Amino acid sequence: MNFKRCACFALTSGLAALTSCAQPARPESSPAPAREEIPGEGAVSIDALRADLSVFASDSFLGREAGTPNSVRAARFIAERLGELGLEPAGDTGYLQRVPLVRETLSASSNFRVTTGAGSTDLFLWNDLIPIPSLGPQIPLPRLSAEGDLLFAGYGDKLSRKTAAGKVVVVVNGGPASLDSVARAEAEAPDKIPERLGELIPLEPAAIIILLRESLFRDYSAKARDAAAIGEPTPAWNAAESARRSLPMILLGVAREGSALLPAGWNTSGRSASLAGRRFSGSAVLERIDVPAYNVVAILRGRDATRTGSFVAFGAHLDHVGVERGASGDSIANGADDDGSGSMALLSIARALSKRAAPKRSMLFVWHTAEEKGLWGSEYFTQHPTVPIDSIVAQLNADMIGRNAPDSLYLVGPSAAPNGQSRMLGAVVDSVNSKLRRPFSINREWDSPTHPEQIYFRSDHYSYAQRGIPIVFFTSGLHADYHKVSDEVSRIDFGKLARVAEFMMEAGVAVANRDARIGKR
């Protein structure tokens, strides 16, 4: 499951080294129960689930991070299993659908300069300034270049649009020397940076330069430089959006005596100053390298000739967060629950359905990549579907379905999706649950677009819901091992996982066998 969307931001190469999104509250972890319940219908094999997940979430896949060969290996693992089952390939190359990502790194050719009547001073990438090419998923992008007169805004003085528009605004993330240690620490906190940006961006400056104290800048610069050497993938199909970069250029810098970005005596007074006669120009250069990434797509054809061209889609994401760099001991985030559980449940559903009479409509299985990066795999699939997008009558998404209390399950979508588009689907799913030998206790707490956890927006069903497709998201909820190396196979409740897979399968079959297409209620 993807991290909570929040107001804090991340440099494309990892501003999380400086400030990170608050993580959601999580219940305490508990190991898998000693005794496993066998699903009543018996169509989903616990042994097959365990065998598949033990490979898929093993150390050999190194956390399946999107944009790495390990995620590609995970996609090929699923494709091989589908070939053994004999499902119809529905990617652009067999079962695989290429998802075009590029890896972006800041180039050493980036340049920054302050010019005065007496000459110019060059500022250097990593040593003096670090441009921020991205503020995070689904946020407009900052420009990569800027030029304008410098305006010093002290420690965050209020400015007017008339004063700031078109200027390069410099602000120190901190407070004057007169502050005591507690107040200074609060003023210098990294989480103040998004707050300052939120105040300055609407004033339409040409650029915003936020200066940090030397030690904090050095720490961040070292971490960001290491991350930039590796590079962070980004969607290549958003190139047109990237070209439209609409926000001011944003840079982090260092507040040091004698800086060309600061007036004399700034540390004492901290008051705004015009820096008359000083002009800034800067250009951040991004180098881009193609990155291999794949969705996996398969079809199980329906038996009704008049409906075989319409689909009930099952979805999960095959990626996880990879390796925790710099961690001691176990550094591999295996993602057994997130979302190894959903991915292998889909395989089990495909396996079970291939052995029984086909439903009237066809079943579409999509394993999405790069969910953890920002729902990119599902975004790409719904923008470039391998079946007509309006032929998908419903989407059932599974993400983290193998943990917590055996009979507890969250359903999200029937109320959260706009325009009531998923209510009837929710009613069908509830009806199926009521007929199970051992029904689940459904928690609907997260089924709201305004819930603080924002779960509705955090997994791949959201990409389908944006296109008017009825969705239901199945999850057993967050836990203490979420996005940690402790999300291991040994903690999965395979009895529960099999039961959730059965529930999803029967709900999908119920939708597929309906004479009428799922609609609003």
* Sign of the CA dihedral with 501 first, then 502, 503, and 509 last: positive
Are 426 and 459 part of one and the same domain? yes
Query: Is 387 a member of any domain?
Result: no
Are 417 and 439 part of one and the same domain? yes
Are 318 and 448 part of one and the same domain? yes
Are 339 and 251 part of one and the same domain? no
Query: Is 360 a member of any domain?
Result: yes
Query: Is 94 a member of any domain?
Result: yes
Single-letter amino acid code for the residue at 184: R
Is the predicted pLDDT of residue 208 greater than 80, yes or no? yes
Are 92 and 125 part of one and the same domain? no
Count of structural domains within the chain: 2
Is the predicted pLDDT of residue 240 greater than 90, yes or no? no
Query: Is 366 a member of any domain?
Result: yes
Give the list of residues 6+ apart from residue 446 with CB closer than 8 angstroms, or none: 410, 412, 416, 453, 455, 456
* Least confident window among 11-15, 94-98, 341-345, 515-519: 11-15
Are 319 and 433 part of one and the same domain? yes
Are 136 and 54 part of one and the same domain? no
Where is pLDDT greater, at 183 or 440? 440
Q: Is 323 exposed, middle or buried (0-12, 13-18, 19+ CB in 10 A)?
A: middle
Q: How many CA atoms lie within 13 A of 59 on its CB side?
A: 7
Are 171 and 196 part of one and the same domain? yes
Query: Is 470 a member of any domain?
Result: yes
- Ranges of beta strands (E only) in 329-470 are 332-333, 362-368, 392-398, 408-412, 441-443
Please give the full DSSP string across 191-233, using - where no structure is assigned: THHHHHHHHHGGG--SEEEEEE-HHHHHHHHHHHHHHHHH-EE
CATH of the domain at 259: 3.50.30
* Least confident window among 150-159, 187-196, 225-234: 225-234
State pLDDT tens for residues 38-88.
343 448 999 999 999 999 999 999 999 999 999 999 999 999 999 999 999
Cα–Cα dist 169/146, whole Å: 11
Are 405 and 357 part of one and the same domain? yes
Are 90 and 124 part of one and the same domain? no
Res. 327 pLDDT band, cuts 50 70 90: low
Query: Which of 263, 289, 315 corresponds to the end of one domain?
Result: 289
Res. 3 pLDDT band, cuts 50 70 90: low
State pLDDT tens for residues 9-25.
333 333 444 443 334 44
Query: Is 375 a member of any domain?
Result: yes
Query: Which of 232, 264, 289 corresponds to the end of one domain?
Result: 289
Contact 474, 398 (CB under 8 A): yes
| % residues pLDDT > 90 (the chain) | 74
Cα Rg for the chain, rounded, in angstroms?
26
Res. 2 pLDDT band, cuts 50 70 90: confident
CA–centroid distance for 33 within its chain:
31
CATH of the domain at 50: 3.40.630.10
The structure's pTM equals 0.79
| Residue 329 confidence (pLDDT) | 84
Query: Is 421 a member of any domain?
Result: yes
| Residue 310 confidence (pLDDT) | 98
Rounded mean pLDDT of 294-303?
A: 98
Are 110 and 89 part of one and the same domain? no
Query: Is 269 a member of any domain?
Result: yes
- 32 is written with which tokens? 């898998």
Are 318 and 404 part of one and the same domain? yes
- 165 is written with which tokens? 């528009």
Residue range(s) defining the domain that contains residue 204: 104-289
Where is pLDDT greater, at 25 or 412? 412
